[in-house]
Structure 1
């Protein structure tokens, strides 16, 4: 029997009977993956036990993920509770997992897409074009034509050259000017690549007016992994100034896009989502009247805490250093796979031992268990493929398992198959009851 949340995935009410869905029906999977209704830990245990039983079968010990779609839904409810005015447009680039996208499409939120492929994925689920913003300020010409053909009108820009391109390819587009903000307190400073400085805003808007283009609002992005909640309030002030410039030129802006940079449920200390909401919500209400529609582009917020990675110890190396015994462990997913977030997203990952000597470690662990300085390495032949340079771990054996929490954002989506290692499989569960 399906739970209420799983029914949304099997029979989404918001996309039923839409012509577009009927046109794309042949592209939808005939069978959805199995969705368990079990705690994450139990799913992991059952998977590992099945590997032990089938240990002589080919590739049974490959690394895997457990994805909790219930956690994604909980994050949605949390958003609606703390930022009720701001409509989330999920940044699909953070995790385009088909079950995640299908769920979010079913509950009716919008999508931030950055390419033709991402737009195609969303449209194939019957999502209306109005629920998509093409939030890439510099777009390939053929992608703009595709957006035009499918009535995906909302798109961002931050330079005059892009305006001339859009004028030629999609003159009826609904344009959103992306302004530069202070992202100096963010792990990924997107302002290095995108965003119009405030001093350029008047001239860009004048160019849009001269080209008879329809600019409908302003967007910004405080950077991915923002570490200062006050950056959101500062960006809102800048957006208000840009709105005023538009009004002076005769534009009637009715859209504010506050971008991304929202912390996920895994962030419990420092800048939390609650702190961001407490700053951003009032700032928007103070600066913008209720007739201005406000959207956001959360990505990691929805998915970071929903995915757990499990890796298999495939090798151990004993190292003698300063009269101490240390260990190097090699596991079967790494920096060129799901752990690319360490390099590209500046993430720090933390290992948790699942089994030791083939036995459940968490059941027998004692406070006085002896641990050793250890490092954990991915499976490739590249020396940068290091997941943890120093961790205190008990002695592990080939065949033991290590768990990594909060692995849902910018991980699987950027995984390669370098050295011939395939991407990790995903097992789904639903802990929302």
Structure 2
């Protein structure tokens, strides 16, 4: 295991050998925490997993250029790694724009996707040379026409999100019926419209919705042509799952997208196709480790209750040193119930108690999970949560007073070599580096003439 400092700006990245997993690194960090008495919550981020997702997407959707949505996870490591891989970025606000620009991303690889942009954000984008912006109503057109007249606009379509876990079209996106009017309004305002976008929502369970959305986009392209627009950009949004358990869903969705693109936007039609992905890239890359700071037992049998089966039984309430106003933001954003992995080894057949996990604030909404069956835990015990990359990196919470949890970045030599090859140049080599290339089969990656392409793997299989 080698630590690389300064490879992605000021980030420290632990470079691990094949066979050394993120779990091994996690154990090292917990051992160090025990020795120093540090009980602060922290993340372990596998940047190799982010690289793997990027390469998998390039292989599955060869006509689509990947863009990353920092609103899902603003960690510098993810942004800088994807910037080095050549990804574009869909920024929803000024801080995201500033973060992406600080990573050296050129303006032509950025699109402003915020549906309700402030004038200051529009002007900041203009000052940075960012021209692409989305809109779905006349008010947004008016703001842009006044503040950024050279902007190139992308009309956002509403979609059927009835089978998506997170929906936004009830608030954002223009209906197909309103598109002609919006295009005519843009023409009257002398605003250039260059394309169409849509987003079907996170983890859509019916990939056929992509087909309908791409067909609708084609109709808008035809409307634009009738009005004299030369549209040349299609943004198909996200909605792809990056969780390993949904491997089949990803393959099915990309197959549907490829077929729909071939039908409605065939190769050679002159339209550039991009996708904006958030959870796909980061969901499985982040593992979160948190500590129990307070414990309280609560009798299940209440006075006057006739349920004798509960007499003498109790449940436990545990307060952790991070909550939903911090790193467990996914509870609100993704409507999920995080299930912990216990770091402390328990007896083979421990007694289980009804348990709930709460954040450190006094807010009654700061509930992380309820109805869990866990053995009795103690103050100071560590809990581990996997698949915590989405919506888990907020600013410091004014309620808890805590700073965002520290991130320990790691990636395998195999992933690092893939980044170097994909860039088409050799990046600075770390100390103790040796000549190495991706080994076929032994690391689970396959060799092509140009770069290492990763099939769908777990982090353990490449680390």
The TM-score with structure 2 as length reference comes to 0.81
Q: Which runs of 5+ in 2 are unaligned?
A: 301-309, 415-463
Q: Hey, what's the Cα distance between the residues in 2 that align with 1:391 and 1:40? A: 26
Alignment of 1:37-56 (within 5 A): 37=16, 38-55=20-37
Q: Is the 8 A contact 1:327 1:372 kept in 2?
A: yes
Q: Is the 8 A contact 2:15 2:413 kept in 1?
A: no
Q: Is the 8 A contact 1:112 1:135 kept in 2?
A: yes
Q: Hey, what's the Cα distance between the residues in 2 that align with 1:253 and 1:275? A: 28
Matched residue of 2:169: which SS? helix
Q: Hey, what's the Cα distance between the residues in 1 that align with 2:66 and 2:238? A: 10
Q: Is the 8 A contact 2:396 2:402 kept in 1?
A: no
Q: Hey, what's the Cα distance between the residues in 2 that align with 1:34 and 1:317? A: 38
* Alignment match, 2:294: 315
Q: Hey, what's the Cα distance between the residues in 1 that align with 2:151 and 2:59? A: 32
CA drift of 1:316 comes to 2.1
Matched residue of 1:226: which SS? coil
* Alignment match, 2:7: 10
The one of 271, 278, 281 equivalent to 2:255 is 278
Is it true that 1:354 corresponds to 2:331 in the alignment? no
Q: Hey, what's the Cα distance between the residues in 2 that align with 1:214 and 1:346? A: 38
The one of 356, 370, 386 equivalent to 2:367 is 386
* Alignment match, 2:397: 416
CA drift of 1:72 comes to 0.6
* Alignment match, 1:241: 219
Matched residue of 2:373: which SS? strand
Is it true that 1:93 corresponds to 2:71 in the alignment? yes
Q: Hey, what's the Cα distance between the residues in 1 that align with 2:62 and 2:2? A: 29
* Alignment match, 1:301: 280
Alignment of 1:11-410 (within 5 A): 31-37=10-16, 38-55=20-37, 60-268=38-246, 272-290=249-267, 291-321=270-300, 322-323=310-311, 324-355=313-344, 361=345, 366=348, 368-410=349-391
Q: Is the 8 A contact 1:133 1:153 kept in 2?
A: yes
Per-residue CA distance 1:61-89 (angstroms, 9 max, x = gap): 01111111111111111111111111111
Q: Is the 8 A contact 1:71 1:431 kept in 2?
A: no
CA drift of 1:36 comes to 4.4
Q: Is the 8 A contact 1:317 1:327 kept in 2?
A: yes
Q: Is the 8 A contact 1:338 1:414 kept in 2?
A: no
Q: Residues 73 and 432 from structure 1, CA distance in 2 versus in 1: closer, same or farther, beyond 3 angstroms?
A: farther
* Alignment match, 1:19: none
Q: Residues 70 and 119 from structure 1, CA distance in 2 versus in 1: closer, same or farther, beyond 3 angstroms?
A: same
CA drift of 1:414 comes to 5.7
Q: Is the 8 A contact 1:305 1:407 kept in 2?
A: yes
Q: Hey, what's the Cα distance between the residues in 1 that align with 2:316 and 2:178? A: 55
CA drift of 1:171 comes to 1.8
Please say which of residues 70-79 and 143-152 is displaced more in the overlay: 143-152
Per-residue CA distance 1:327-364 (angstroms, 9 max, x = gap): 22221111121112112321221111111xxxxx2xx6
CA drift of 1:217 comes to 0.8
Q: Hey, what's the Cα distance between the residues in 2 that align with 1:263 and 1:432? A: 25
Per-residue CA distance 1:34-93 (angstroms, 9 max, x = gap): 4242421122211211122122xxxx1011111111111111111111111111110011
The TM-score with structure 1 as length reference comes to 0.87
Q: Hey, what's the Cα distance between the residues in 1 that align with 2:413 and 2:364? A: 41
Matched residue of 2:329: which SS? helix
CA drift of 1:326 comes to 2.3
Q: Hey, what's the Cα distance between the residues in 1 that align with 2:363 and 2:84? A: 42
Q: Hey, what's the Cα distance between the residues in 1 that align with 2:68 and 2:226? A: 32
Q: Hey, what's the Cα distance between the residues in 2 that align with 1:138 and 1:378? A: 31
Per-residue CA distance 1:367-417 (angstroms, 9 max, x = gap): x34322222222221222221201121221111111100100111136624
Q: Hey, what's the Cα distance between the residues in 1 that align with 2:67 and 2:246? A: 23
Q: Hey, what's the Cα distance between the residues in 1 that align with 2:145 and 2:392? A: 36
CA drift of 1:318 comes to 2.1
Q: How many residues align?
A: 399
Q: Which runs of 5+ in 1 are unaligned?
A: 12-28, 356-360
Q: Hey, what's the Cα distance between the residues in 1 that align with 2:50 and 2:413? A: 9
Q: Residues 175 and 94 from structure 1, CA distance in 2 versus in 1: closer, same or farther, beyond 3 angstroms?
A: same
Per-residue CA distance 1:253-300 (angstroms, 9 max, x = gap): 11100112221225437x732221121121112110222111010001
Q: Residues 405 and 166 from structure 1, CA distance in 2 versus in 1: closer, same or farther, beyond 3 angstroms?
A: same
Q: Residues 415 and 304 from structure 1, CA distance in 2 versus in 1: closer, same or farther, beyond 3 angstroms?
A: farther
Q: Hey, what's the Cα distance between the residues in 2 that align with 1:39 and 1:208? A: 53
